[in-house]
Amino acid sequence: MILDKLTARLESVQEYEKEPVPASRHKSWRSFLGMYAGEHTAGTEFVIGPLFVAHGASAGDLIFGLLIGNLLAVLSWAFLCAPIAVKERITLYYKLEKICGKHLTVVYNLVNALMFCFLAGSMIAVSATAVGIPFNIPMAELTDWLPSSLSWVLIVLVVGTVTTLIATLGYEQVSRFANIASPWMILVFLAAAIAVLPELGVNSIGDFWPVAESKIWTGVPLEGQSKFTFWHVMFFAWFCNMAMHIGMADLSIFRYAKSWKSGFTSAGGMYVGHYFAWLASGILYAVFLQNSQNSLEFAPGPIAYYAAGITGAACVIVAGWTTANPTIYRAGLAVQAILPNSKTWKVTLIVGLVTTTAACFPALVMRLLDFVALYGLLLMPMGAIIFIDFYFLPKLGLSSELAEKTGQKINWAAAGTWILTLAACLFINFSFGVEIFFLGLPGWFVAVALYIGLSFLFQPSKQLNPKLS
Amino acid sequence: MKRTILGILALSGLLLTLLPSTLVFAGVISAPVNKILMAVGMLLWFTMAPFWIKRAK
């Protein structure tokens, strides 16, 4: 009986994968504010903030780098992604199918789903560091890549299973959970950081800046870590969600928005999560380093537990969930675009299994900054293709959504753009030593130029192919 | 009326999450007391907020 009810509930989950979202399902900006604030005040924030400390970012570079980088990210959501989302009101995957053709979209979706799985996996791993506290399991170090113990794997499996079950219930459930948890999480981040400040020697507001420069963000990287400058911080803040804004993955989210201006609600996520939460978690990590004489052990759960007790540990778990949930959901959408006849919840369940397996490897957490940058870079060219296809191709006398109009399975202009852009980024990286954090910017302009050029090359002229007009 | 009471209790949860940490910073309470108060705040928020938000809608 209960199983029948649950199945009926799951069957009724309707996410409009192949049709525009109807007006009755449009959501106000408040839904997105809660979702972005929740999603970006998350498990990864407990990792990224400390990694800035480990990479020796100085206090000034961090404060101003994050300020500008986050502003650029918000503008990217508001002016690049959201306007297209509310005009089209379809998922990223359906839009890509129209432009790139079914076969290329399948390849994109596979890459995308895999990246989402790894990202969600890192969040599950972060949650597991908190769940593991009562069991006193050995935690991984900054240099670890492989699982350190069987108990670690078991805890990751439990956390991953619960997260996946929640994600199978769809966007509504995820949004509701995130909305309730997000204001509390934000306050826990702040409270934990404020409570440990006296341990660093901050006893008045005036003490903060000198301590920040000398004990928290000292400008000196930990052993084995590269040095981060202002530019690293700024570009990381801008591009860490590159796949979502410039890469257009959030077309799938903003298609529910009443207005494109909802894109500005991403500021809730950026300035609360990617600013205050990163600063707060950096402070917590500085206290850990001070108490442990610069130990290389890296486990957000115990760090938060030390600062805020059971609430801190719970916050790490919930923070991991609220980000892993929509990420698994997005990965499910990506796979469902490949298997359109399958049920959303069944696909999400499979994606959750892959995610949980990936979460067992600490490398996902320890190299999170590099992974996040790579993930954005890999998917960015498709965002540039959508942008040019939507705004410029018709003005240049070329046809937009070519694959849908011609019935092509692969739009070779798009395929060439994707491959050659990544090859160009690789070339810039190897030849000029430009780090992965900076490649997104030249890469976007390369993608734009390539897509326009290759469209002229590959599109049949309208005179020759009347089907296009 | 019930909604107001739920709202007050839920918001008290958030207040108990943040306020004690400022008292630790000011040297008024100890870190262990702060942790207990934060736990109470967490319980209040997660037990009251879902019903409060549901009623508000």
Q: Which residue of A has its CA nearest to B48?
A: A180
Helix A45-54 to helix A278-292 angle (10° resolution) is 60
Residues A207, A320: Cα–Cα separation, whole Å: 32
Specify the pTM: 0.86
pLDDT tens digits along A397-436: 999 999 999 988 999 999 999 999 999 999 999 999 999 9
B4 neighbors B39 (Cβ within 8 angstroms): no
| CB contact A179 to B (< 8 Å) | yes
Answer whether A184 sits within 8 Å of B53, measured CB to CB.
no
Answer whether A184 sits within 8 Å of B34, measured CB to CB.
no
pLDDT tens digits along A95-119: 999 999 989 988 988 888 888 888 8
Cα dist from A258 to A26, A34, A82, A255, A346, whole Å: 5, 15, 10, 8, 30
| A296 has pLDDT over 90 | no
Residue ranges of domains in chain A: 24-377
pLDDT tens digits along A238-280: 999 999 999 998 898 899 898 999 999 999 889 988 999 999 9
Closest by Cβ to B34, choosing from A180, A184, A195: A195
Number of domains chain B contains: 1
All residues of chain A having their beta carbon less than 8 Å from the beta carbon of residue B41 are: 311
| Per-residue DSSP letter, A99 | H
Phi, psi angle pair for A257, to nearest 5° = -75, 145
Which residues numbered 1-57 in B keep a CB inside 8 Å of some CB on A?
A: 13-14, 17-18, 20-22, 24-25, 27, 31-32, 34-36, 38-39, 41-42, 45-46, 49-50, 53
| CB contact A28 to B (< 8 Å) | no
All residues of chain B having their beta carbon less than 8 Å from the beta carbon of residue A180 are: 46, 49-50, 53
The partner residues of A257 in beta bridges, in order of sequence, read A27
Q: Domain of B41?
A: 2-56
A248 neighbors A84 (Cβ within 8 angstroms): yes
Residues A282, B52: Cα–Cα separation, whole Å: 34
> Helices (DSSP H) in A132-170: which residue ranges?
150-167
What confidence score (pLDDT) does residue A139 get? 77
> Which CATH architecture is the domain A24-377 placed in?
Orthogonal Bundle (1.10)
